[in-house]
Structure 1
Amino acid sequence: MSTSSALPPLDDAASIMDGLRQAMRRLAASVSVVTLRDANGAAGATVSALCSLSFEPPSVLIALNQSGSMHDRILAVDTYAINILYADQEEVSKTFGAPNRTADCFKPDVWEDIMGAPCLIGAQSTLICRRAAELPHGSHRVIVGEVLWTRSRPEVNPLLYADGGYRRLG
């Protein structure tokens, strides 16, 4: 068996974009809804780009589309919530992923206010974050949040998204 250290030829930009799209479809991601409350009321958006960043200080990062309705609003508030969805909360994801969502999405028996941010009752986990930094890149902006408060359900059963559809563990 021979091994070669030669690199494959570079693909054109369209091939790289298609290859990246296919690779990312295979990356299962937990589904979350980022929520906030500002002078215009409550707002939220479904995101799958969430990751742990640091434990000192406790921090996470999310990526938001700069043309999305949440982008400017999250830059105008200090705190926001990240609601990591439980397996049975697919409808919540669809509601906050729709382009024309309104504050009517926040029903009082399903949402509660914690530290000024709407939090989903029964979420897999909820994080309250203070916006600590941001970095624009391409079509998105990475938002770093310092975690101020957390709550998690004892059972682990998050809603996942992979290959264009919702998935569950097991």
Structure 2
Amino acid sequence: MSSSTALPPTDDDTTLVDGLRHAMRRLAASVSVVTLRDAQGAAGATVSALCSLSFDPPSVLIALNQSGSMHDRILAVDTYAINILYADQEDVSRTFGAPNRTADCFKPGAWEDIMGAPCLIGAQSTLVCRRAAELPHGSHRVIVGEVLWTRSRAEVNPLLYADGGYRELSAL
């Protein structure tokens, strides 16, 4: 059995942030696209910070950068969708992750409106949520969504992101 020697805590914020960034790159996460429709039209952004929160009431949370284009828009709508991407939807992730995305980002994939939110047909899973609470922290805001509707594919093969690249779930 091997062990690693941990370095003592440091007051150097740069070292701590670099260490956190390095550690979080090793956390494999499903890739999701959060989408909404408001008076300006349809919008969306790729996120990897998605977490199940509660089954009573059914709730999830996402984290959005407060300086991102989706931040103010999601706070102005009641419902939005979380589209958990399937392994073959990397193009959707890249399009919605681009810094200067426009309504053209909805060109990859097939979309339908459900409860007022754009939902990706063929996603691994889709959740339509009502914004229930939010909490600012540092550069981000945690958004709690009460789940109103779900749809999932039978086969399980989500698009994953780890160590700066897209991955696929290996067969067990």
Query: How far 1:105 moved relative to its partner?
Result: 2.2
Give the counterpart letter for 1:105 in structure 2.
Answer: C
Identity in percent: 88
Q: Distance in 1 between matches of 2:35 and 2:109?
A: 16
TM-score of the superposed pair, with normalisation by structure 2? 0.92
> What is the 5 A alignment of 1:42-53?
42-53=42-53
Q: Distance in 2 between matches of 1:20 and 1:108?
A: 33
For 1:4, the equivalent position in structure 2 comes to none
Query: How far 1:8 moved relative to its partner?
Result: 5.9
TM-score of the superposed pair, with normalisation by structure 1? 0.93
Give the counterpart letter for 1:10 in structure 2.
Answer: P
Query: How far 1:103 moved relative to its partner?
Result: 1.1
Alignment length (residue pairs): 164
Query: How far 1:108 moved relative to its partner?
Result: 9.6
Query: How far 1:109 moved relative to its partner?
Result: 6.8
For 1:104, the equivalent position in structure 2 comes to 104
Instruction: Give ranges in structure 2 of 5+ residues lacking alignment.
Output: 1-5
Give the counterpart letter for 1:9 in structure 2.
Answer: P
Moved >6 Å (runs of 4+): none
For 2:158, the equivalent position in structure 1 comes to 158
For 1:91, the equivalent position in structure 2 comes to 91
CA deviations on 1:10-58 (whole Å, 9 max, x unpaired) are 2121111111001000000000000000000000000000000000000
Q: Distance in 2 between matches of 1:65 and 1:14?
A: 20
Q: Distance in 1 between matches of 2:168 and 2:82?
A: 19
For 2:142, the equivalent position in structure 1 comes to 142
In structure 2, the CA distance between the partners of 1:67 and 1:55, relative to structure 1 (3 Å rule), is same
Instruction: Give ranges in structure 1 of 5+ residues lacking alignment.
Output: 1-6
SS at match of 1:63: strand
Query: How far 1:119 moved relative to its partner?
Result: 0.3
Q: Distance in 2 between matches of 1:25 and 1:108?
A: 27
Would you say the 8 A contact 2:109–2:120 is kept in 1? no
Give the counterpart letter for 2:8 in structure 1.
Answer: P
SS at match of 1:35: strand
For 1:9, the equivalent position in structure 2 comes to 8
Query: How far 1:69 moved relative to its partner?
Result: 0.3
Q: Distance in 2 between matches of 1:101 and 1:15?
A: 33
For 2:25, the equivalent position in structure 1 comes to 25
CA deviations on 1:86-136 (whole Å, 9 max, x unpaired) are 000000000000011111222497100000000001000000000000000
Instruction: Say yes or no: does 1:61 pair with 2:61.
Output: yes
Which stretch shifts more, 97-106 or 17-26?
A: 97-106
Which stretch shifts more, 104-113 or 44-53?
A: 104-113
Query: How far 1:67 moved relative to its partner?
Result: 0.3
